[in-house]
Structure 1
Amino acid sequence: MGLRKSISKFLYEDKRPRSRVSEPDDLVEFIKMLRPKPTSHELVRIGEEGDGGYLVPDDFQGIGFCFSPGVSVKASFEEELASRYSIKSFLADASVENPPVLNEFFSFEKKSLGSRDEGDFIRLESWLNSKEEQISGQDLLLQMDIEGFEYDVLIDTSIETLKRFRIMVIEFHTLQMLFESYTLRLMKALMEKITREFVVVHIHPNNCKGLVERNGIHVPKVFEVTFLRKDRVDASNPTRELVFPHPLDEKNIPENPDVVLPDIWWKED
């Protein structure tokens, strides 16, 4: 059983008492930790309009490879990395037989990321180690949308391994669980680990789900976060102002109402 499912079982299925509700001040402090920061890199959209496209800092020179777990019916993000920047992509997903398109820049394996090397699962660190001969000495990019298993992977992966990625674009799921104090404590520890070495440069709520509100605090149920490693950040010379939604943001699902990032997630007090 994955970590995500274990947490869900503890909070929602066991007969033990439900965890207490998060204190509003604790949740606000967590949100502040994730507020995006302006940098000297403009954001560009990689991938098609709608689902499959992401906003990332325009800092691709020297990135040799993208690791992209979670294969969908589209691969426009990886295709554009290949065509515009000659970045090769490693793709992995045990639920499909092949990537959605054939591309000489793609390398696919039928595995899913998790917190163990067993059966169909492979750890992120093990995946990188298996490609070491190709990726050694190069900066990497991570694009991860694995339907909730991002928590298993990120908790399991050392910060030294994560630092090999210059840019990380990660979709986080079931964020309504932040209103549970136990989950908030786990998420705070996880984000403290990541933000020691990375800054958040963009957040985009996925409109496949809406917002949840409690005590006047609105939390998107699902959002995509773009991280940039701190050694690539020149905070003294930002070239862009923070605006949400960003002009390049697109609705993931065109027919659904848009979900705009609430002010508390990006505006300074």
Structure 2
Amino acid sequence: MKFCNVLFMAAATLAAIGFIIASCLPSHGGLLPTLRNREKLMESSIGLHARKDRGWKDPERKDPEQKDPQQALHTPPRALEEDWKRAPFHQELLESIYAVTPSDLTAECMSKFQVCGRCGKSGKLLHVGPGIGICPEVLEQTERILLFGAKAWTEFGSSLAEAGLHWPGSVTVHDCFVPESSIRCPKGRPECRVQFRKTCFYDQQEAPFPPDLNIKITPDNTDKLVGIFDIEPLESRVLSVASSARLRQYQMLVVKFFWLEQQSKHLLYLQLLQKLLKDFYLVSVSASSCHGRWHMPSHSLIMPRVVWATFLRKDLGESTICRTEMQMTQECQGNSSGIGGLEALSRWSLTATQPLGEPEDLLFEVYAQTYTPENPTKTNYLLPYKAVSLELLKAFRLCHECRSGSEDLERLGPGKDGGYLICKEAAATAGMAVAVSIGIRGSDPFGAVLSSRYNLHVHGFDCTGPSYGCPGNLAGCRFTHHSQCVGKPFGGRPASMFVTFDDILSKYAKEDEDLILKIDCEGCEWSVLPDVPLAVLRRFRMIIMEAHWLEKQERHATYAKTFYHILEAFDLVHSHACNVFGVWTVNGTGLGMPRIVELLFVRKDYAAATACTNSTYRHKLDVKICPVLPELYAESFRLPM
């Protein structure tokens, strides 16, 4: 094997030399030349090696053993078992060097990190804390500093006070993971004043209380704000949903961008950067010295995995000739491995040409086709082409309806998040007395209405939040809360806080009775449902489920297995998109779907076949989960036939 590797590296060196010669031929000007004309040259030695290691084959090579991707769509699920076993599992390796596959989208996204502005006429830029650039003149004029994430205070805000900088306005820190006592002013700075607000941001799944989906990142009636965002990994999501008018209330924005090597998020980052650069100049970029770097070999593009970027509103700054350098932060001084052995460098460059080598097992996800989504305005996550992802998408096709027809659908619960659809006949037929609700966090209006309307005793299970009981004005409601979670122990909690489906059925249901299951547990569904035996699942007439984080390709094998396990006994009759978290697309196919969806499965004896469709939006029943954001209709489901 070592001899084979030597031969391969020799061939790779020749290929790299050929690429360098071709790159030097006179052709294009600018920072990033026309990239699409280099399709053949994109197969650099490292990129091709990565694909071969991951089982990738050149789509243009006539290989009799190569499978047609379209044929894979029609492959029975069990035939993909080996593909599922080989699906890569993403693991964060903080001190590694990552290589990504050539992509025009990646190159365009990273080009937006050029510094093309400066702080006002003076151009004065001050580096505070670990080395984060700010415009001090703007800071002295601000009315309020808003810090999102406790680390924004510990890494940045407290440094302002330590440096003796003056600002006339107030300082507020938003976070929901840390106690208020952890936000303190530096010693010896009695004039320092800071407020703390216990606020969650969207999909912080482990938050101690339900997230506030309607959070305003700006107060009203002021345009003299400074915002600091350090809310891993939600900075792009929180800023993306904010309107341009809201963002313009900030004089200066300092944003910490995490894990820039993740190509699936490059479209989201590009959309956010384009949005910000319409009204702001990028005046400073500081590379984190803690988390290493990544690069795209064919374009000689090198970037840190984590950067601080400072944006200044255009009416307060001036444009300059664009620069591609980055200041190094001092977050991990003395960590010789944290920046890949190049900690002595004081600047980074988007067009650096220093050759890099990397071990094969640290290569990141790869792309096999060019990016061509059908609806890019709603696509936030772009995933590499993989057959298992297409197979998962196909499982979401709607080919059945309630046995009594689509008119049998009924919505229970509020006209917002927390309400779900059911088939009335399946709920009303005799022989059922109990429903199980997994995932409550102190509120289950669906379970309460289900109990009241269909005379069921609902048992709710959740060990992560406060208890819940029937509202006093809901007649006939019977709801029992159990401070237990279903499945395997997690989060350091004792095993006594966890139960299995067998435990629930043996204790609360009669052997000859059916049940209803509702599961909305922020992602635990993928670890709970695969372990439930089919005989146990068949005890339920309906499964009302919220499926989370479907863009996580490293888990698509698990998701697909779970889906086909359920579909052996149930049919999917309804799907509805969550309008908060966007859409993901499989690269080069135009196929994709929302990251989070509400689903209704009905046991096969309560379902009827119908013409297949991607999804159907029920205008009288489906409602926006977040009222202040645009709805994602059935068109957001683009599934294989």
TM-score grouping bracket, smaller chain normalisation: 0.7 to 0.9
Given the two structures, how large is their TM-score scaled by the length of structure 1? 0.82
Q: Secondary structure at the match of 1:262?
A: helix
**Matched-pair contact (CA < 8 Å) for 1:68–1:143:** yes
Q: Read off the aligned partner of 1:112 and give its amino acid letter.
A: C
Q: Name which of 437, 444, 459 aligns with 1:68.
A: 437
Q: SS at the partner of 2:602?
A: strand
Alignment of 1:180-199 (within 5 A): 180=553, 182-199=554-571
Please say if residues 574 and 616 of structure 2, whose CA atoms lie closer than 8 Å, have aligned partners that are also in contact.
Answer: no
Q: 1:201–1:105: structure 2 CA closer, same or farther, 3 Å change rule?
A: same
Structure 1 position 35 matched with structure 2 position 397: yes
Q: Deviations over 1:142-189 (max 9, x none)?
A: 011111111110122111111111000111111001xx2x52222222
Q: What one-letter code is carried by the residue in structure 1 that aligns with 2:562?
A: L
Q: Equivalents in 1 of 2:564, 2:524: separation in Å?
A: 19
Assess if the C-alpha contact under 8 Å between 1:38 and 1:242 holds in 2: no
* Alpha carbons of structure 1 residues 150 and 135: separation in structure 2 relative to 1, 3 Å: same
3-state SS of 2:573 partner:
strand
Q: Which runs of 5+ in 2 are unaligned?
A: 1-87, 97-361, 367-382
Moved more, 99-108 or 16-25: 16-25
TM-score computed with the length of structure 2 as normaliser: 0.37
Give the structure 2 partner of residue 44 of structure 1: 410
Deviation at 1:217, TM superposition (A): 1.9
DSSP 3-state at the match of 2:634: coil
Greater mean alpha carbon deviation, residues 50-59 or residues 94-103: 94-103
Q: SS state of the match for residue 515, structure 2?
A: strand
The structure 1 residue matched to 2:505, chosen from 99, 124, 128, is: 128
Aligned residue type for 2:436: F
Structure 2 partner of 1:223: 597
Q: Tell me: CA distance 1:51–1:45, structure 2 relative to 1, closer, same or farther (3 Å).
A: same
Q: Where do residues 86-125 of structure 1 align in structure 2 (5 Å cutoff)?
A: 86-101=455-470, 105-115=478-488, 118-125=495-502
Q: Which amino acid aligns with 2:536?
A: T
Change (3 A) 1:243 1:84: same
CA contact (8 A) 2:614 2:638 kept: no
Give the letter for the 2:456 counterpart. I
| 1:157 paired to 2:532 | yes
Cα distance between partner residues in 2 of 1:87 and 1:121: 23
Aligned to 1:23: 385
- For the pair 1:83 / 2:452, whether they are aligned, the reply is yes
Q: Please give the alpha-carbon distance, in whole angstroms, between the structure 1 residues aligned to 2:560 and 2:460.
A: 29
Answer yes or no: is 1:207 the counterpart of 2:579. Answer: yes
Cα separation, 2, equivalents of 1:19 and 1:185: 15
* Distance 1:186-1:97 versus aligned 2 partners, 3 A rule: closer
Q: Which amino acid aligns with 1:211?
A: V
SS, match of residue 188 in structure 1:
helix
Structure 2 Cα separation of the partners of residues 265 and 124 of structure 1: 34
How far did residue 10 of structure 1 move? 4.5
Partner of 1:4: none
Mean Cα deviation higher: 195-204 or 13-22: 13-22
Distance between the aligned counterparts of 1:230 and 1:23, measured in 2? 33
State the secondary structure of the residue aligned to 2:391.
helix
Q: Deviations over 1:182-234 (max 9, x none)?
A: 52222222211111111000111112311122322222111111100112223
Contact 1:115 1:156 in 2 (8 A): no
Q: How far, CA to CA, are the matches of 1:161 and 1:146 in structure 2?
A: 20
User: 2:542 — aligned with what?
Assistant: 167
Q: 1:39 to 1:107 in 2, by over 3 A?
A: closer
- Separation in structure 1 between the aligned mates of residue 539 and residue 528 of structure 2, nearest angstrom: 15
1:234 is matched with 608
Relative to 1, partners in 2 of residues 1:120 and 1:190: Cα closer, same or farther, differing over 3 Å? same
Aligned match of 2:626: 253
Do the aligned partners of 2:458 and 2:479 also contact (CA within 8 Å) in 1? Answer: yes
The structure whose Rg is larger is: 2
Q: Counterparts of 2:571 and 2:615 in 1: how far apart (Å)?
A: 17
Work out the CA distance in 1 between the residues paired with 2:515 and 2:447: 13
Q: State whether structure 2 residue 425 is matched by structure 1 residue 56.
A: no
Structure 1 residues 78, 39: closer, same or farther in 2, change over 3 A?
Answer: closer
CA distance in structure 2 between the aligned counterparts of 1:33 and 1:98, rounded to whole angstroms: 35
> Do the aligned partners of 1:168 and 1:228 also contact (CA within 8 Å) in 2?
yes
Shift of 1:264: 4.8
Q: Give yes or no for contact 1:69–1:92 (8 Å, CA) kept in 2.
A: yes
Aligned to 2:92: 13
Bigger relative CO (Cα 8 Å, ≥ 6 apart): 1
Percent identity of paired positions between Structure 1 and Structure 2: 25
- 1:65-101 deviation per Cα after TM superposition (whole angstroms, max 9, x unaligned): 1100111443221222122211110011112342154
**Structure 1 CA distance for aligned equivalents of residues 624 and 636 of structure 2:** 18
Tell whether the 8 Å contact from 1:72 to 1:100 is kept in structure 2 after alignment: no
Rounded Cα–Cα distance in structure 1 between residues aligned with 2:575 and 2:451: 24
Contact 2:515/2:540, CA 8 A, preserved across alignment: yes
The one-letter code sitting in structure 2 at the alignment partner of 1:213 is: T
Are the counterparts in 2 of residues 93 and 109 from structure 1 also a CA contact under 8 Å? Answer: yes
SS in 2 for 1:89: strand
Matched position secondary structure for 2:608: coil
Whether the 8 Å contact between 2:586 and 2:592 is mirrored in structure 1 is yes
Q: Return closer, same or farther for 1:228/1:206 CA change in 2, 3 Å cut-off.
A: same
- Residues 28-68 of structure 1 show CA distances to partners (whole Å, capped at 9, x for unaligned) of 33322221223433211111111111111122122321100
Between the aligned partners of 1:209 and 1:264, the Cα distance in structure 2 is 14
Q: Give 1:124 deviation, angstroms.
A: 2.5
* 1:96-127 residue CA offsets vs partner (Å, 9 max, x unmatched): 34215457511121101223591422222322
